[in-house]
């Protein structure tokens, strides 16, 4: 059986079509045009707004004309993560997807079910004339994964819907009514590279690979290793003992993905080469002892000889940056006091790029409490400012606060219980959803989030649970039938 034959076929067929169109964040022009063409082919209005979002509109089916308008919302981009063995080019290559028992996966890469599944479900509604619904708007946003730019760019008055179904959650049977807010902490500096007399030195490339990584909103509480933090520990030990001199450092590539890989090039005095390699062995054993029960795929730490660079970081710069990365908070800062199993505040030390006289570090701070988010950000600003870096806070957004009087959530809960004989879990999440941003310009819109079951999004282990997709989509169809009248 191929993926397009899975049930519900319309959802899986559309999802497979999306996997064949490259759509990493920042490169979504092709998929946006594909969605517009798809909508028009199926008799719906469609446009790309000024922010790059795709908006589709479809009239009510006969007998449902008096229903309130509902918005189906998802995002078109995906997180581009791949295994160390993969040669996949996310900007040009289709995904290689396959069925593995009850799961759909991709060979060597992220699957893009976050949020291709939400997009595919909305497409299935648009194309199927037998689906019973009132007037519908479909909002497919641009570049959610890198900064929610599409949601931020959505203008007030563009949408007419009274209710919004966000199709970007990752656990079937849950209805989300709130999420954390976020802030990007961007640290940068320029420095004058140091000319190095490397006659008595050898060069090594230290590499960390194979970590689980993960979604920094959904899996930040699982204690997974952060490649940037592990590398900082190695460099801290090597530089402070004069065993190495830092020339370059790169780690992570997405603000909302726990970094899986990293590498640094260092110069090592020939007389200390054996000590340096012993340090690498020691660090490897320490990391395996600390994270071996969590990092089930193993921790690959290597130090291989490489071409000698002619330049390095000045002593004070390398020490200041390494010290700052060591000191910077990463992981869970606090759980919600009244909901002790739900993360309130966290940070993800996501991206490090240091080479050629420029250093850039990016951190994503999250919190459902604005004051705690500001406290965390202030601490990060203080930490990296003391290292001589310029620090900017960008792309901030408040959390989506639950509405205890939501008519939409009450209706959805009743519908789910009638369909499946049990109540859904109504909760909030630590990940960022676009509802809070959209709600700024649409404060009266009643919103909820739902989706099929996905595991390990933002990693090459991402997978979608096949049985959950049918339950999720059937739930969407019943919700549309039960939307209140105007």
Q: Per residue, what are the HEC states of 373-413?
A: HHHHHHHHHHHHHHCCCEEEEEEEECCECCCCCCHHHHHHH
Residue 266 and residue 272 in contact, taking contact as beta carbons nearer than 8 Å: no
Please determine, looking at this structure, whether the domain spanning 3-179+399-482 carries the CATH number 3.30.465.10: no
Q: What pLDDT is stored for residue 391 in this prediction?
A: 98
Cross-sheet strand order for the sheet of 454-455: 97-100, 103-106, 463-465, 454-455
C-alpha torsion sign, points 45, 49, 54, 55:
negative
Helix (H) / strand (E) element for 73: namely: strand 70-75
If residue 439 lies in a helix (H) or strand (E), which one and from where to where?
helix 435-441
* pLDDT of res. 398: 84
The Cβ of residue 351 has, within 10 Å, a number of other Cβ atoms equal to: 21
CB contact at 8 A, 319 and 301? no
Give the architecture (CATH level 2) of 183-397.
Answer: 2-Layer Sandwich (3.30)
Q: Does the active-site annotation cover 307?
A: no
Question: Left (φ > 0), alpha (ψ -120 to 50) or beta: where does 38 sit?
Answer: alpha
Q: Is 65 helix (H, G, I), strand (E, B) or coil?
A: coil
Q: What pLDDT does residue 308 have?
A: 94
- From the list 76, 105, 98, 79, the residue with the least C-alpha distance to 90 is 79
Q: Please report the pLDDT score of residue 376 as a whole number.
A: 98
Rounded to an integer, what distance in angstroms lies between the CA atom of residue 26 and that of residue 215? 19
Nearest to 385 by CA among 328, 429, 345: 328
Question: What's the CA gap between 43 and 299, in Å, rounded?
Answer: 52
In angstroms, rounded to a whole number, what is the distance separating the alpha carbons of residues 318 and 314? 6
Q: Of the candidates 191, 203, 283, which has an alpha carbon nearest to the alpha carbon of residue 235?
A: 283
- Which tokens in the block code for residue 159? 């949408």
Residue 486's closest CA among 104, 129, 144, 163? 163
CB 451 within 8 Å of CB 472: yes
pLDDT for 1: 79
Active site residue 114: no
Counting beta carbons within 10 angstroms of the beta carbon of residue 5, is it exposed (0 to 12), middle (13 to 18) or buried (19 or more)?
exposed
What is the chain's pLDDT, residue by residue, as a tens digit (486 residues)?
A: 799 999 999 999 999 999 999 999 999 999 999 999 999 999 999 999 999 999 999 999 999 999 999 999 999 999 999 998 899 999 999 999 999 999 999 999 999 999 999 999 999 999 999 999 999 999 999 999 998 999 999 999 999 999 999 999 999 999 999 999 999 999 999 999 999 888 899 999 999 998 999 999 999 999 999 999 999 999 999 999 999 999 999 999 999 999 999 999 999 999 999 999 999 999 999 999 999 999 988 899 999 999 999 899 999 999 999 999 999 999 999 999 988 899 999 999 999 999 999 999 999 999 999 999 999 999 999 999 999 999 999 989 888 999 999 999 999 999 999 999 999 999 999 999 999 999 999 999 999 999 999 999 999 999 999 999 999 999 999 999 999 998
Q: How far, in Å, CA of 387 to CA of 238, rounded? A: 19
Paired strand residues for 71:
137, 164
Strand partners, 250: 263, 353
The span from the CA of 11 to the CA of 343, in Å, is: 32
**Domain residues of the chain, as ranges?**
3-179+399-482, 183-397
Identified catalytic residue from 115, 143, 144, 462: 144
CA dihedral 353, 354, 359, 363 (to 10 degrees): 30
Instruction: Name which of 281, 300, 304, 296 is nearest 234 in CA terms.
Output: 281
Neighbours of 416 (CB within 10 A): 23
Question: Distance between CA 278 and CA 257 in Å, rounded?
Answer: 31
Cα–Cα distances in Å, from 145 out to 71, 251, 320?
A: 20, 18, 30
DSSP strand pairing (425-429 vs 174-179): parallel
User: What pTM did the predictor assign?
Assistant: 0.89
Residue 213, phi then psi, degrees to nearest 5: 65, -140
Number of CB atoms found within 10 A of residue 388's CB: 14
**Spatial distance between the Cα atoms of 128 and 113, rounded to a whole number of angstroms:** 21
Residue among 77, 114, 145, 434 flagged as catalytic: 77
């Amino acid at each position: 059986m191929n993926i397009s034959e899975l049930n519900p076929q319309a959802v899986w067929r559309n999802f497979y079509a999306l996997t064949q169109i490259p759509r990493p964040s920042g490169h979504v022009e092709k998929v946006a045009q594909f969605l517009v063409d798809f909508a028009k082919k199926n008799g719906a209005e469609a446009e790309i707004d000024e922010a790059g979002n795709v908006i589709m509109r479809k009239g009510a089916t006969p007998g449902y004309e008096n229903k309130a308008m509902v918005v189906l919302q998802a995002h078109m981009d995906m997180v581009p993560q791949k295994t160390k063995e993969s040669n996949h080019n996310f900007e040009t290559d289709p995904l290689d997807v396959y069925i593995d028992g009850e799961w759909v996966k991709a060979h060597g890469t992220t699957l893009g079910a976050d949020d291709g599944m939400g997009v595919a479900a909305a497409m299935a509604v648009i194309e199927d004339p037998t689906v019973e619904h009132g007037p519908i708007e479909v909002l497919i946003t641009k570049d959610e994964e890198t900064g929610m730019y599409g949601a931020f760019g959505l203008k007030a008055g563009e949408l007419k819907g009274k209710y919004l179904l966000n199709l970007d959650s990752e656990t079937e049977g849950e209805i989300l009514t709130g999420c954390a807010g976020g802030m990007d902490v961007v640290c940068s500096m320029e420095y004058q590279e140091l000319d190095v007399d490397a006659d008595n030195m050898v060069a090594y490339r230290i590499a960390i690979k194979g970590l689980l990584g993960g979604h920094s909103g959904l899996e930040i509480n699982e204690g997974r290793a952060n490649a940037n933090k592990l590398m900082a520990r190695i460099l801290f030990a090597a530089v402070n003992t004069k065993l190495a001199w830092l020339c370059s450092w790169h780690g992570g590539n997405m603000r909302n993905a726990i970094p899986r890989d990293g590498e640094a090039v260092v110069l090592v005095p020939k007389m200390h080469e054996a000590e340096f390699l012993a340090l690498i062995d020691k660090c490897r054993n320490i990391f395996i002892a600390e994270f071996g029960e969590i990092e089930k795929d193993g921790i690959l730490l290597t130090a291989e000889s490489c071409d000698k660079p002619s330049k390095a970081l000045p002593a004070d710069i390398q020490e200041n940056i390494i010290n700052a990365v060591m000191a910077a908070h990463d992981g869970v800062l606090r759980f919600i006091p009244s909901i002790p199993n739900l993360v309130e505040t966290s940070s993800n030390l996501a991206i490090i790029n240091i080479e050629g006289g420029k250093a850039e570090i990016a951190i994503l701070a999250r919190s459902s409490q604005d004051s705690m988010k500001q406290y965390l950000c202030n601490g990060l600003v203080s930490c990296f400012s003391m290292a001589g870096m310029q620090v900017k806070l960008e792309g901030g957004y408040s959390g989506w606060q639950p509405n205890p009087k939501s008519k939409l959530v009450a209706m959805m809960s009743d519908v789910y219980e009638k369909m499946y004989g049990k109540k859904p879990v109504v909760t909030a999440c630590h990940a960022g959803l676009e509802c809070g941003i959209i709600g700024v310009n649409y404060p009266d819109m009643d919103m909820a989030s739902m989706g099929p079951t996905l595991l390990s999004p933002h990693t090459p282990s991402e997978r979608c649970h096949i049985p959950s997709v049918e339950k999720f989509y059937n739930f969407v169809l019943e919700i549309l039938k039960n939307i209140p009248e105007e």
